[in-house]
Amino acid sequence: MVTIIVIVRVIPEKREEFLQTARTLKQDMLKVEGVKRIILYQDMEDRERFLLIVEWTTPEGMDKYLHSENFRVLIGALRVLAAKSEVTFSLLPDDGEKIAEIAI
């Protein structure tokens, strides 16, 4: 399984725009082959801080997404709506042992 983890601190006045963008991107991503699950968490103590987790069934599915227009839209949205963001990619074998992690 491959996981993309995005930690976002949204610009306070852009919070609602971020949530709407996240909803739209989720609908689009669920149509992509290989997406297993998409979760968006909000920090209970900081309403501008979010954690987005996207799980893929195969590295090939994620790689295809990373070269898609939808991924460019996600990165563009983060640049406009976030005060700070961090994207991490993790590759986990079926037994759950982490074999690679790359942060950009």
pLDDT in tens, 3-17: 889 999 999 999 999
31: exposed, middle or buried (C-beta count within 10 Å: 0-12, 13-18, 19+)?
Answer: exposed
CA distance linking residue 63 with residue 55, whole number of Å: 12
pTM of the model: 0.80
Encode pLDDT of 41-74 as tens digits: 999 999 999 999 999 888 888 888 889 888 898 8
Q: Which amino acid is at 14?
A: K
Domain spans in the chain, listed from the N-terminal domain onward: 2-103
Looking at the domain covering 2-103, what would its CATH class be?
A: alpha beta
Strand partners, 103: 88
